[in-house]
Amino acid sequence: MAYNKRDMSLFNASSCHGNGVFTSPVEWRSIESHIVCFFFFLIKSEMSSMNRKIIHTLAESISKQVDHFSKTEVECLIREFNLLLGEPVSTGRTVSGLDKERFRSILHNNFGLTDDMIMDLVFRTFDKDNDSFVSVKEWIEGLSIFLRGTLEEKIKYCFQVYDLNGDHYISREEMFHMLKNSLIRQPTEEDPDEGIKDLVEITLKRMDHDHDGRLSFADFEKAVKDENLLLEAFGTCLPDIMSADAFELRVFQEPAEL
């Protein structure tokens, strides 16, 4: 049914407050605006309630599978993941995770890591299913070792980071590439590669207990347990204590928005 101008003027004139005073078109638009805002508030509140339920259920599940974090801390880490991802975790999404570029930015901004090659290797270590995204579960599993892992867990983690081709050994070539990438070159050095090769040989002499010219996990584990400083021998892949404490203080103690 179409309305003409006269019909609309009658409609505006018939709009009134509860006390019988008719509203003007301007007043009516103001009332409409308040009604719309009220409904948006209700929708947002309902969505927040749904998000809280999703986070609670997810935290319940993950906290049973991950060491070192309480259920409340897992909830905080899920909220932090949502903030970093830019959208809530949803079971209906095909992919819900941090890509390599965003993950590298997190490592740099929150934990002070600077070596691009090592950060990419840390990403690979977190990304257990190799789908090129770190999911919320992989994020929490990785952080449990990254932040609070035992020495044994960190030894396994670092070895996995340094095993570039995944053959369960750290070869001379892999050591060379990682050390070349992480060491600061001096402009006066005529052949810096020779210095790195010498360092590789010194490292092998110190850590290669079975003398086969490469490091097995057993070699790496024994060397690190004998001297803990060798844990990150081929590049920084763990946060320092100050960065880790600052992250935990912010994420676990500050109230987080959903």
pLDDT digits (tens, 9 = 90+) for 17-70: 445 444 555 555 666 565 555 444 443 444 454 477 888 888 899 989 999 999
Contacts of residue 16, Cβ cutoff 8 Å, sequence gap at least 6: 22, 23
Tokens for 163? Answer: 């095993």
At 231, list the tokens: 């844990």
Distance from C-alpha of 197 to C-alpha of 172, rounded to nearest angstrom? 9
Pair 89, 136: CB distance under 8 Å = yes
User: What does the pLDDT look like over 109-145, one tens digit per residue?
Assistant: 999 999 999 999 999 999 999 999 999 999 999 999 9
Q: What's the confidence (pLDDT) of residue 252?
A: 93
The amino acid sitting at 224 is V
Please give the structure tokens belonging to residue 110: 């929150």
Q: Given this model, what pLDDT does residue 31 score? A: 60
Determine contact, residues 16/22, Cβ cutoff 8 Å.
yes
CB 117, CB 235: distance < 8 Å:
yes
Beta bridge partners of 98: 134
Higher pLDDT, 25 or 1: 25
> How far does the chain reach from its first CA to its final CA, in angstroms?
45
231 pLDDT more than 90: yes
154-168, 171-185, 186-200, 216-230: segment of lowest average pLDDT: 186-200
Residue the block writes with tokens 């930015």: 105
Structural tokens at position 144? 């449990």
Confidence of residue 193 (pLDDT cuts 50, 70, 90): confident
Spatial contact of 230 and 224, defined as CB atoms under 8 Å apart: yes
pLDDT given for residue 11 in this prediction: 40
- pLDDT value at position 220? 98
Global pTM value = 0.75
What are the pLDDT digits (tens) for 72-113?
999 999 999 999 988 555 444 445 799 999 999 999 999 999
CA atoms of 217 and 158, how far apart (whole Å): 10
Buried b (16+ CB within 10 A) or exposed e, 217-254: eebbbbbbeeeeebbbbbbbbbbeeebbeebbeebbee
Q: Quick check: 179 and 162 in contact, CB under 8 A?
A: no
Give the range among 25-29, 104-108, 176-180, 247-251 with minimum mean pLDDT: 25-29
In this prediction, residue 195 carries a pLDDT of: 86
What average pLDDT does this structure show over 218-247?
96
Residue type, 84: L
